[in-house]
Structure 1
Amino acid sequence: MSQTVDRALRILSDLGGGPKTLDQLAGLLGVHKSTALRLLQTLESQGFARHDEQHRYRLGPRLFALAHQALDELDIRRLAAPHLAALNQKHGHTVHLAAYVAGTVVYIDKYEGRHPVRMHSRIGALAPAHCTAVGKVLLAGLSEPLRKGAVSRIGFERYTPNTITDLDAFEAELAQVAAQGYAQDRAEHEDYINCVAAPIRDAAGTVLAAVSVSVPEPVLTYSGVLALLPDLLSAAGAASAELGWSAPPPHHDQEN
């Protein structure tokens, strides 16, 4: 791979962790600002990057369009749909399906809740990986090298008083998610939303997506959201079974 292409892809991956300034991107690449600027101008001209009024760079609309095309070729939404719809129908709460695409957490499907308080999420929107339950599930499911690389690019922006902004604390959180098989978001992204998420796996056990249930605090307390875990895990397991995954048998220690 040419150095220019490699650097351009690294910029897109870095932007997947959140908006960055020119200085930040040049530092992450280890190049002079003029070099980073030339790459960004090329990416902007093709619609893969854009900059805002604060002179920060973000992922551009063409990247999202390509991501949509790639997602349309996946069977995961179709296979998971009946199980997610049933979960949504049973409890009436918002159900999301998210995937890790091009270094970013993307909502690839959504089932609206029946209560009047609506979430701002939408299909195709990005979710911050460090403070959403789906983001934690997806990062925890990556191989160690990919996970470390992804975590190193997170800006740890604080969205609420509960947002995890410490690297060590977040790595400990991911270890817990991997061990317990689900993730929690207790008003970490939006200060009135609680959420739980679980992985959807393929036949090899690879985490392909994450499914979540999100509920506004006025509708259901945090403990009430945790009570939805059995049904969430059941839906995620059923969707995983559609992809060929079967849960390993429980391990029982034998006494000598």
Structure 2
Amino acid sequence: MSQTVDRALTILPLLAEGPANLEQVAARLGVHKSTALRLLRTLHAHGMVYRQQDQRYRLGARLFALAQQAFESLDVREIAHPHLVALNERCGHTVHLAVYEDGEVVYIDKVESRYPVRMYSRIGKPVAITVAAVAKLLLADLPDAERRAVAERLDYPAYTARSTPNAAAFLRELTVVRDRGWATDFGGHEESINCVGAPIRGADGRVVAACSLSAPNVVVSADELLALLPALRGTAEAISAEFSGKPAKPAR
């Protein structure tokens, strides 16, 4: 990287801490004020920084617009898919990816199990929101008031004897899920199907999607599926890192 580009990029995180004057910028860069001024003028011309009336500089609106545009262009499914395929190849079970949109939790990707017993879930199909592991993860991350409002307006079908019975029980479970960072559905929707899920987070730490491993009892027990949780969480963390642009954590 050229010295000029390196210095210009150093200015941006400095101003992210708050407005700074020319002397402060020059001191941080370790350069003469004339050099710092030249860099600031170039960044100002491109809308990356803005000079206030008190002569201090702050980050410019153009920089925020570009960041928002870049974020909106991100496709979590496109980023996640290779990771989901790798997880499927590693463990053999069905892998799902889901998001929360317009009051529903919807599958947006699925990698089929290698085993002959298949699941009936489909991409684009809403999940059973009161029992599905991915739904619990997505709703658990909502602000308290919104989470409670959603829980109280849902119906609670008794899919099985293990289904969530009411809003109070659902809210208690969402609190547990939020605190521990993963979720399960052990026979809550279908007696014979078990599922574990993990959250995918954006740059702000909020949950933007959730991925899960699902398998029938005839293939693996609930305990055997739960033993794959570290691999699932590692996959979710790798997707989160790529989606948010943060360094990935070391592999587990």
Taking structure 2 as the reference length, the TM-score comes to 0.67
Instruction: Measure the CA separation in 1 of the matches of 2:73 and 2:192.
Output: 35
How many angstroms does 1:114 deviate by? 0.7
Provide Cα deviations, 1:179-235, integer angstroms capped at 9, x if missing partner.
Answer: 000001011011110000011000001111000000100000000010010000000
State the match for 2:142 in structure 1. Answer: 142
Max Rg structure: 2
Pair 1:214-2:220 in alignment: no
Kept in 1, the 8 Å contact 2:185–2:194? The answer is yes
Instruction: Measure the CA separation in 2 of the matches of 1:142 and 1:245.
Output: 23
Query: Relative to structure 1, is the Cα distance of residues 240 and 75 closer, same or farther in structure 2, using a 3 angstrom cutoff?
Result: same
Give the ranges of 4+ consecutive aligned residues of structure 1 lying more than 4 Å apart after TM superposition.
none
State the match for 2:83 in structure 1. Answer: 83
State the match for 2:199 in structure 1. Answer: 199
SS of alignment partner, residue 178 of structure 1:
helix
State the match for 1:106 in structure 2. Answer: 106
Kept in 2, the 8 Å contact 1:93–1:214? The answer is yes
Kept in 2, the 8 Å contact 1:201–1:245? The answer is no
Kept in 1, the 8 Å contact 2:74–2:243? The answer is no
Provide Cα deviations, 1:37-63, integer angstroms capped at 9, x if missing partner.
Answer: xxxxxxxxxxxxxxxxxxxxxxxxxxx
Calculate percent identity across the aligned residue pairs.
47
Instruction: Measure the CA separation in 1 of the matches of 2:236 and 2:159.
Output: 28
Query: Relative to structure 1, is the Cα distance of residues 161 and 194 closer, same or farther in structure 2, using a 3 angstrom cutoff?
Result: same
How many angstroms does 1:170 deviate by? 1.3
Query: Relative to structure 1, is the Cα distance of residues 111 and 172 closer, same or farther in structure 2, using a 3 angstrom cutoff?
Result: same
Kept in 2, the 8 Å contact 1:98–1:211? The answer is yes
Kept in 2, the 8 Å contact 1:204–1:245? The answer is no
SS of alignment partner, residue 212 of structure 1:
strand
Kept in 2, the 8 Å contact 1:138–1:210? The answer is yes
Kept in 2, the 8 Å contact 1:198–1:233? The answer is yes
SS of alignment partner, residue 127 of structure 1:
coil
State the match for 2:180 in structure 1. Answer: 180
SS of alignment partner, residue 142 of structure 1:
coil
Kept in 2, the 8 Å contact 1:205–1:245? The answer is no
Kept in 1, the 8 Å contact 2:200–2:211? The answer is yes
Query: Relative to structure 1, is the Cα distance of residues 160 and 74 closer, same or farther in structure 2, using a 3 angstrom cutoff?
Result: farther
How many angstroms does 1:74 deviate by? 5.1
Instruction: Measure the CA separation in 2 of the matches of 1:232 and 1:226.
Output: 10
Match of 2:96, as an amino acid?
H
Pairs within 5 Å for 1:1-256:
75-244=75-244
Count residues in correspondence: 177
Instruction: Measure the CA separation in 1 of the matches of 2:82 and 2:208.
Output: 17
Taking structure 1 as the reference length, the TM-score comes to 0.66
Instruction: Measure the CA separation in 1 of the matches of 2:167 and 2:245.
Output: 32
